[in-house]
Chain A
Amino acid sequence: MKRALKLGIAALLAACGSMPAVEHHFASEADLLEIQAVLKRDLRVRGSATLARLDADAVQQACNLNGNAPPEPLVKTLEAQQMAAINFPAGSLIGDWKRGESIAQSGRGMQWNDGPKDVAGGSCYNCHQLAPQEASYGTLGPSLLGFGKLRGNSAETQKYAYGRIYNSKAYNLCSQMPRLGHSGTLDEQQIKDLVALLLDPDSPVNK
């Protein structure tokens, strides 16, 4: 009982997008220019990891300049822009939780040693608890055990789960979670499969 309550609180905190206290570091515009120059000078293209990856977008810029806590109006503007760029597919967003589980397990994708034929994963277990059978899970993100049990799987919840995986920054601008759809790491079907892992009543996450 106590355990279930704790998990519920963790999931609620995750829903609010609140983050535990961490050291905030505020870079200046000059710092960012200096760092960009150093990175462009000392990093080398390898495999798919090209120097184009160093170009900062508006979200990264805002988070770097403001210690991951930009002023509220800027947060709202940028979150809305990120939200508008999510391609929500029509119809059910619940794919196959079994495929979702293997996507959640895989840490492949976007690294310079990943080959062009390697299928990317979501690295989910690196940071989140999901299925209770998987004991080796990280804790950088909130536990997602019982995610669907707690929230049901209405169209609205499906949309939230899909969007959060596609682009976490649309919900919490300086979230530490990678924008897995926005960055081109995972495709539409893969994200649907992860939504199934979270929301399907048959998924071990909800058993």
Chain B
Amino acid sequence: MRAPILFLLLISLANGGFAQDVKKEIEKYQQMVADSSPVELFELQGEILWAKRQGPNNASLEQCDLGLGAGVLKGAYAQLPRWFKDADRVMDLEARLLHCMGTLQGRSREEASKRVFGNEDQPSEMEYLSAFVASQSRGAAMAPGQAHAKERAAYALGQKLFFFRAGPWDFSCASCHGEEGKRIRMQELPVLSSPAAARPVVATWPAYRVSNSQFKTMQWRINDCFRQMRMPEPAYTSDLTIAIATYLTVNGKGEPYRGPGTKR
């Protein structure tokens, strides 16, 4: 619905040819779409799934320990990724939800992660749950774990991965997210190694994407970057993806969470 408006707007601005005006108009457009975001519907559906009894144990996720104790939702998302003693592993939200689907609901990893990235017609259970759990951290400062040695190791690995160039197109994360004020097409690119740029990013993911009417998680965001980098596909919630998520989130720490966000 909104895409043609943006298109016309850009065409008219292109004739003026002033990048600053384009930027201002994009910001106006972003504000406009944020005002009519359906994020709340995803949060509500997630809340229903959180309490829904399912799996071989016919149990809900309500006793899931997201790091602040069994069943504590408030502020839990803002402290992820973090190291979990029971798994002896650093986990992000999606890794932890998958863990709870196994331990509480008795579901196999294979079944629970069969369809984690949904589409416009049918969002995934993981997307709904991510929207709900993240929404319960609104206002809390982002404070991912960095006290445990494995948390610090995840950050260090994420940093190395961020700058590592590979694949047929020689890309690293920094190829697109390494220089200030750059765009791909009209999409502005945050320099994710810089706290100033990382803060608003980590404070607004997961997010609803207006251009394709889909709710997207951070695991999806990282996955899709690998696709565009012409690399093979990262395994869902693998240590590699969590290292990158840890690096980004620690770079953006301190920002009050205000998601789930709305993206172009």
Asked if B193 is at the interface of the complex by the 8 Å CB criterion, the answer is yes
A25 and B163 form a contact (CB under 8 A):
yes
B166 and A42 form a contact (CB under 8 A):
no
A31 and B160 form a contact (CB under 8 A):
yes
| Interface residue from A23, A53, A111, A136 paired with B228 (Cβ < 8 Å) | A111
Of chain B, the residue at the smallest CB distance from A53 is: B167
CB-CB < 8 A to A183: which residues of B? 168-169
Total A-B pairs, Cβ < 8 A? 136
Of chain A, the residue at the smallest CB distance from B167 is: A53
B166 and A60 form a contact (CB under 8 A):
yes
B233 and A43 form a contact (CB under 8 A):
yes
Of chain B, the residue at the smallest CB distance from A28 is: B160
**A35-57 interface bits toward B, Cβ cutoff 8 Å, 1 = contact, 0 = none:** 10011011111100111011010
CB-CB < 8 A to B157: which residues of A? 34-35, 38
Total contacting residues, chain B, CB less than 8 A: 48
Q: Given that A27-B164, A53-B168 are contacting pairs, would A140 and B232 also be in contact in the complex, using a CB cutoff of 8 Å?
A: no
Q: Given that A49-B230, A183-B168 are contacting pairs, would A135 and B235 also be in contact in the complex, using a CB cutoff of 8 Å?
A: no
A112 and B233 form a contact (CB under 8 A):
yes
Asked if B231 is at the interface of the complex by the 8 Å CB criterion, the answer is yes
CB-CB < 8 A to B228: which residues of A? 111
**Which chain B residues numbered 116 to 169 have a C-beta less than 8 Å away from chain A?**
157, 159-169
Asked if A110 is at the interface of the complex by the 8 Å CB criterion, the answer is yes
B174 and A44 form a contact (CB under 8 A):
no
Asked if B14 is at the interface of the complex by the 8 Å CB criterion, the answer is yes
| Interface residue from B160, B170, B178 paired with A59 (Cβ < 8 Å) | B170
CB-CB < 8 A to A176: which residues of B? 170, 175
Asked if A178 is at the interface of the complex by the 8 Å CB criterion, the answer is yes
Q: Given that A3-B17, A42-B240 are contacting pairs, would A54 and B232 also be in contact in the complex, using a CB cutoff of 8 Å?
A: yes
Residues of A in contact with B, size category: 35 or more
A125 and B185 form a contact (CB under 8 A):
yes
Q: Given that A64-B165, A125-B185 are contacting pairs, would A136 and B10 also be in contact in the complex, using a CB cutoff of 8 Å?
A: yes
Asked if B84 is at the interface of the complex by the 8 Å CB criterion, the answer is no
Of chain A, the residue at the smallest CB distance from B12 is: A135
B167 and A54 form a contact (CB under 8 A):
yes
Q: Given that A46-B233, A112-B233 are contacting pairs, would A138 and B171 also be in contact in the complex, using a CB cutoff of 8 Å?
A: no
| Interface residue from B166, B181, B226, B227 paired with A56 (Cβ < 8 Å) | B166
Asked if B58 is at the interface of the complex by the 8 Å CB criterion, the answer is no
**Which chain A residues numbered 135 to 169 have a C-beta less than 8 Å away from chain B?**
135-140, 169
**Which chain B residues numbered 1 to 43 have a C-beta less than 8 Å away from chain A?**
10-11, 13-14, 17
Report which A residues bind B (CB closer than 8 A). Answer: 3, 20, 22-23, 25, 27, 31-32, 34-35, 38-39, 41-46, 49-51, 53-54, 56, 59-60, 63-64, 110-113, 125-127, 132, 135-140, 169, 176, 178-179, 183-185
Report which B residues bind A (CB closer than 8 A). Answer: 10-11, 13-14, 17, 157, 159-171, 174-176, 178-179, 181-187, 189, 191, 193, 226-228, 230-235, 238-241, 243
Other A-B contacts than A49-B230, A135-B13, A138-B182, 19 sampled, CB-CB below 8 A, are A22-B178, A27-B160, A27-B163, A32-B164, A35-B164, A42-B239, A54-B167, A59-B170, A63-B165, A63-B170, A132-B14, A135-B10, A137-B185, A140-B183, A169-B170, A179-B170, A183-B168, A184-B168, A185-B169
15 contacts between A and B (CB under 8 A): A35-B157, A35-B160, A35-B164, A41-B238, A43-B226, A54-B231, A60-B165, A110-B230, A112-B232, A125-B185, A127-B184, A138-B184, A179-B169, A183-B168, A185-B169
